[in-house]
Amino acid sequence: MFLEKDLSGRPQKGWIEVVCGSMFSGKTEELIRRLNRAKIANQRVEIFKPVIDVRYSVEEVVSHNENAIRSTPVDTASNILLLIGDVDVVGIDEAQFFEPAIVEVCNKLANMGIRVIVAGLDMDFQGNPFGPMPQLASIAEYVTKVHAICMRCGSLANFSHRLSPEEKLVVLGERNEYEPLCRECYNESIK
């Protein structure tokens, strides 16, 4: 297994990486890129996603750019521990949709010497921290925040503005349901 080095130069065996940001920021694209690089390095990789995410595919993680990688849909975070097998790297997409137990699952995986790469929305459509993402970011060794481009002014966007009047927290959608906005345009849109 490929081993990163920690700051002291010793091999680091397991760790957690979080890729977060708004809708259309490239989170899944970055997850797929990292997992494909691990495969190129002959690492054993497993990918999981919540069973509710069927926007593009039931059994693949698919980016908005239509890049895809085979995955296993699971209905609870604990199922990941049951299904991992002998792996070096575990990828988890749309982590905000998992229950809080995903934090413990990621910790267990990292403590087993597995590299864990988690992608998800850091904020919901109301601009609040989303599900377990704040806790995942706080326990991760590496956090990457990616940004979309504001659809109104062209600045960096980190808010996922819902275009429909739907009030439910979880509404799966694409460009016809959400648009990425910068802070100023987001605040203007919710007045």
Q: Which residues are catalytic?
A: 94
Pairing of strands 4-5, 11-12: antiparallel
Alpha helix ranges (H) inside the chain:
27-40, 78-83, 101-111, 133-139, 183-189
How buried is 132 (Cβ within 10 angstroms: 0-12 exposed, 13-18 middle, 19+ buried)? buried
Q: Identify which of 56, 62, 88, 91 has the alpha carbon closest to the alpha carbon of residue 74.
A: 91
Cβ–Cβ under 8 Å, residues 75 and 83: no
3-class secondary structure, 156? strand
Q: Identify which of 152, 150, 50, 39 has the alpha carbon closest to the alpha carbon of residue 89.
A: 39
